[in-house]
């Protein structure tokens, strides 16, 4: 899976450890996304200042899949926000794959009657 990190925050710079955290979470999605063609999957990680919330950071995830765009976002301290956003994105991927599997079984006549 291809991914990019965009830092739109004015007063926040990603440390190497924070970049590694994002890389680790993105890598954990790879097994879930193996059934999709690699060139059809792209993750965009956006880090921004949370407007009007002091020093809070907003982490936005946008995962482009065939026929679907999944979004997750969390605000707060960097590490908890990243952890929660990726947890939500993982849940959405699993739901999407389950939905695709149900559609495939129904189209083949393998669905429950």
* pLDDT for the residue 15: 94
Given a contact cutoff of 8 angstroms between Cβ atoms, the answer to whether 105 and 82 are in contact is no
Q: Quick one: CATH architecture of 2-107?
A: 2-Layer Sandwich (3.30)
* pLDDT for the residue 57: 92
19: Cβ contacts below 8 Å, ≥ 6 apart: 5
* pLDDT for the residue 106: 57
Q: What is the pLDDT along the chain (113 residues), one digit of tens a residue?
A: 899 999 998 888 999 999 999 999 999 999 999 988 878 899 999 999 876 566 689 999 999 998 899 999 999 999 999 999 999 999 999 999 998 887 655 555 554 44
Kindly list the domain boundaries of the chain, sorted by start residue: 2-107
* pLDDT for the residue 10: 86
* pLDDT for the residue 101: 80
* pLDDT for the residue 83: 98
CA distance 70 to 85: 11
User: What is the separation of C-alpha 60 from the centre of its chain, rounded to a whole number of angstroms?
Assistant: 8
* pLDDT for the residue 65: 93
């Amino acid at each position: 899976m291809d991914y990019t990190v965009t830092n739109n925050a004015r007063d926040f710079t990603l440390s190497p450890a924070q970049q590694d955290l994002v890389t680790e979470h993105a890598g954990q999605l790879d097994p879930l996304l193996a059934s999709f063609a690699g060139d059809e999957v792209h993750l965009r990680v956006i880090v921004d200042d949370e407007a009007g919330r002091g020093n809070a950071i907003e982490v936005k995830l946008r995962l482009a899949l065939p026929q679907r765009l999944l979004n997750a976002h969390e605000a707060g301290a960097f590490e908890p926000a990243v952890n929660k956003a990726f947890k939500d994105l993982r849940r959405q991927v699993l739901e999407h794959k389950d939905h695709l599997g149900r559609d495939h079984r129904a189209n083949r006549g393998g669905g429950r009657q």
